[in-house]
């Protein structure tokens, strides 16, 4: 794995972790139903080929599915009209299925606090802290500092780090300076952890927590304080730890000052300057993996900026990175490709303003010796859009390698069609790709692409594909997701049957559950709770927890609290119940980690991303 990938041991030096104690960013099991191991934010074991399209999808899917928003907007699945489903970003907010404040204060919070106080189990403690942090942020009546801070002194490093992250997720006003003290390893920070120094793992999670606080801050003063402390660490040449520096970079990109105000614009300019100076500096080959992440942070700061001239400058910077005569290595090149996909405007022909971007990306796809760069270039072409990129992507879909290129081309065309949903030719070619190949990745990617592109005419094809490949986990799961994105309520019975038969197939279990949630099937949560209460497998429990955290409603609170309180149940099952309760209580439309996983260069991996269930992308 590039850049020293995730480890399988627990950061605390104790026993290795399994699936994460929840997860917001990714899926619950390996994309193809593979074995166990480290997971992403929803529990995906990262033990397979990172070059597969499905990894990009799992890290980025939240902003397309907007599952939480859909579930919370549901009025009554038995009476809702078919035209109520209007697609991502267009659903009126109505939290009639969400847990009530009385439930949160009277049932959920007391159970979490009681279990947190008596348990010495790592997974239970971590899950309870994160759940309490979300409740403190959204519902109040609990002091997150008083509850979570003592766990910074636990002997388990994973618990200490999660406590730091939870302080950030709580967005408590006093958390900012405590996290700064931890990040900077000051005397105040050492007092917080009760040690002679703050370990790098806790410093890393403190940085991510600071990014969450700054992202949610309404005042530029808090954002400025966080930025200045993060910048100090970035510029400290004596701070070589990769995890800390990468966390600082991503946290700076998450700040998102308001460009419309003078103070916000000034802060954003300072952020761009600091990140750009670090990105372009010659720190040697050993620093390039870390420098690569600065491209994504820069793109996130720029994406909401009205100043076109500044954006054009950085577009030129990233295009130059793809000049092979000036290459600074694969990590920086991949990040440049991803950044161009975010920043580029549609390219219709050679007279378009961003024609140079289209040419650079196409050249990368055609000539890069690094296949990961070549595939990410296809994806970026789809994000940039325009007729020129459309024509080229269709040619790859038609003639590219079925196993390698076509899945990426299909996904890219889905992203492109999302912006031009009336493109009949793209819809036609994606439907042909769905049915004309036997390669699982190509079929699954075509299914997701049809959902992304809102190609409603493909519903019958997708139903037939689901019936044909119901025993192929990746295909069946992605087809379920696609049918849900298209709002095909007539597929609910078929997806219910898939769910009922997937208790030993965790990946399919999660995807079919999420699909039913998107379709607002009223029976979905009852089915999941019943499965969770049965003797599910280790990975099955994790998948059920992730699904419930995303689609659970007020009816699931009582059985989950009972499971959490039951000392006869396994510690892992109880931790998963706590994680699910935290997800159900969470009022945010997106998982907390989405601000980091969106367009992240996960190929430039550091150990804190994924670490046997204890990495930052593995925490719900």
What's the angle, vertex CA 276, arms to CA 272 and CA 281, rounded to 5?
A: 160
Residue 257: closest CA among 306, 308, 301:
301
Distance CA 172, CA 193 (A): 19
pTM of the model: 0.89
Distance CA 6, CA 209 (A): 20
Tokens matching residue 340: 């161009």
Q: Is the pLDDT of residue 32 over 60?
A: no
Tokens matching residue 471: 């025993």
Task: Yes or no: say if 393 and 412 are a contact pair by the CB < 8 Å rule.
Answer: yes
> In the block, which residue shows the tokens 């761009």?
272
Task: Yes or no: say if 389 and 34 are a contact pair by the CB < 8 Å rule.
Answer: no
Distance CA 123, CA 118 (A): 13
Q: Is the pLDDT of residue 596 over 60?
A: yes
**Percent of the chain whose predicted confidence (pLDDT) is above 90:** 68
Tokens matching residue 219: 């005042």
DSSP category for residue 287: G
> Quick one: pLDDT at residue 49?
61
Tokens matching residue 229: 């402390």
Residue 378: closest CA among 325, 424, 416, 423:
416
What's the angle, vertex CA 28, arms to CA 565 and CA 411, rounded to 5?
A: 150
Q: How far is CA 168 from CA 120, 177, 216, in A?
A: 23, 11, 10
DSSP category for residue 273: H
What's the angle, vertex CA 604, arms to CA 601 and CA 609, rounded to 5?
A: 85
DSSP category for residue 463: H
The per-residue pLDDT for range 287-330, each reduced to its tens digit, is 999 999 999 999 999 988 877 788 999 999 999 999 988 889 99
> Quick one: pLDDT at residue 98?
84
Task: Yes or no: say if 510 and 28 are a contact pair by the CB < 8 Å rule.
Answer: yes
pLDDT classification of 72: cutoffs 50, 70, 90: low
pLDDT classification of 610: cutoffs 50, 70, 90: confident
Q: Is the pLDDT of residue 44 over 50?
A: no
Q: Is the pLDDT of residue 454 over 70?
A: yes
Distance CA 428, CA 610 (A): 38
The 3-state DSSP class for residue 311 equals helix
User: Residue 7 forms beta bridges with which residues?
Assistant: 611
The Cβ-side half-sphere exposure at 327, using a 13 Å CA radius, reads: 14
DSSP 97-129: TSPPHHHIIIIIHHHHHHHHHH---HHHHHHHH
Distance CA 385, CA 393 (A): 10
Sorted by where each begins, the domain ranges of the chain are 53-618
The per-residue pLDDT for range 273-291, each reduced to its tens digit, is 999 999 999 988 889 999 9
SS3 content of the chain, % helix, strand, coil (to 5): 65, 0, 35
């Amino acid at each position: 794995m590039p850049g020293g990938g995730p480890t399988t041991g627990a950061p605390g030096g104790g026993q290795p972790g399994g699936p994460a104690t929840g997860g917001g960013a990714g899926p619950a099991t390996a994309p193809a139903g593979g074995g166990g191991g480290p997971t992403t934010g929803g529990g995906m074991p990262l033990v397979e080929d990172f070059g597969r399209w499905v990894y990009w999808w799992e890290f980025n899917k939240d902003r397309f599915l907007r599952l939480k928003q859909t579930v919370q907007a549901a009025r009554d699945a038995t009476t809702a009209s078919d035209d109520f489903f209007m697609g991502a970003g267009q659903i009126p907010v109505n939290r009639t299925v969400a847990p009530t404040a009385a439930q949160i204060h009277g049932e959920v919070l007391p159970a979490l606090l009681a279990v947190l106080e008596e348990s010495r189990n790592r997974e239970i403690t971590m899950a309870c802290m994160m759940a309490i942090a979300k409740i403190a942020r959204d519902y109040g009546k609990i002091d997150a500092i008083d509850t979570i801070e003592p766990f910074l002194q636990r002997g388990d490093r994973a618990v200490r780090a999660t406590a730091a992250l939870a302080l950030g997720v709580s967005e408590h006003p006093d958390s900012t300076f405590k996290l700064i003290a931890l990040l900077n390893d000051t005397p105040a920070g050492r007092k917080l952890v009760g040690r002679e120094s703050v370990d790098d793992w806790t410093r890393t999670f403190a940085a991510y927590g600071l990014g969450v606080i700054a992202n949610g801050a309404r005042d530029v003063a808090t954002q400025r304080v966080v930025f200045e402390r993060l910048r100090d660490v970035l510029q400290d040449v004596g701070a070589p730890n990769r995890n800390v520096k990468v966390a600082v970079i991503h946290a700076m990109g998450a700040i998102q000052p308001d460009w419309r105000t003078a103070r916000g614009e000034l802060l954003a300019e300072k952020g761009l300057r600091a990140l750009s100076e670090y990105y372009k500096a010659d720190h040697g080959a050993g620093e390039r993996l870390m420098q690569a992440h600065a491209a994504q942070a820069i793109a996130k700061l720029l994406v909401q900026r009205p100043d076109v001239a500044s954006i054009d400058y950085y577009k030129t910077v990233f295009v130059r990175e793809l000049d092979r005569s000036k290459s600074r290595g694969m990590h920086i090149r991949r990040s440049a490709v991803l950044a161009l996909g975010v920043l580029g405007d549609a390219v219709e022909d050679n007279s378009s303003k961003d024609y140079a971007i289209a040419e650079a990306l196409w050249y990368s796809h055609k000539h890069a010796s690094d296949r990961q760069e070549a595939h990410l270039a296809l994806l970026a072409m789809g994000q940039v859009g325009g007729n020129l990129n459309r024509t080229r992507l269709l040619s790859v879909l038609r003639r590219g390698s079925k196993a390698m290129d076509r899945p990426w081309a299909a996904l890219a065309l889905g992203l492109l069609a999302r912006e031009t949903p009336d493109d009949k030719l793209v819809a036609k070619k994606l439907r042909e790709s769905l049915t004309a190949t036997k390669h699982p990745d190509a079929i699954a990617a075509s299914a997701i692409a049809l959902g992304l592109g809102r190609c409603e005419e493909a519903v019958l094809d997708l139903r037939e594909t689901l019936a044909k490949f119901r025993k192929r986990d990746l295909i069946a799961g992605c087809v379920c997701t696609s049918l849900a994105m298209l709002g095909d309520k007539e597929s609910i019975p078929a997806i219910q049957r898939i769910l009922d038969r997937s208790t030993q197939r965790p990946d399919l279990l999660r995807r079919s559950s999420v699909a039913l949630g998107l379709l607002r099937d009223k029976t979905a949560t009852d089915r999941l709770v019943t499965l969770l209460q049965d003797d599910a497998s280790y990975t099955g429990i994790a998948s059920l927890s992730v699904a419930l955290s995303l689609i659970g409603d007020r009816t699931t609170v009582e059985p989950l609290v009972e499971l959490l309180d039951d000392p006869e149940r396994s510690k892992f099952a109880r931790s998963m119940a706590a994680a699910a309760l935290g997800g159900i209580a969470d009022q945010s439309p997106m998982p907390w980690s989405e601000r980091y996983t969106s367009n992240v260069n996960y190929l430039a991996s550091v150990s804190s991303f994924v670490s046997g269930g204890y990495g930052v992308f593995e925490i719900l």
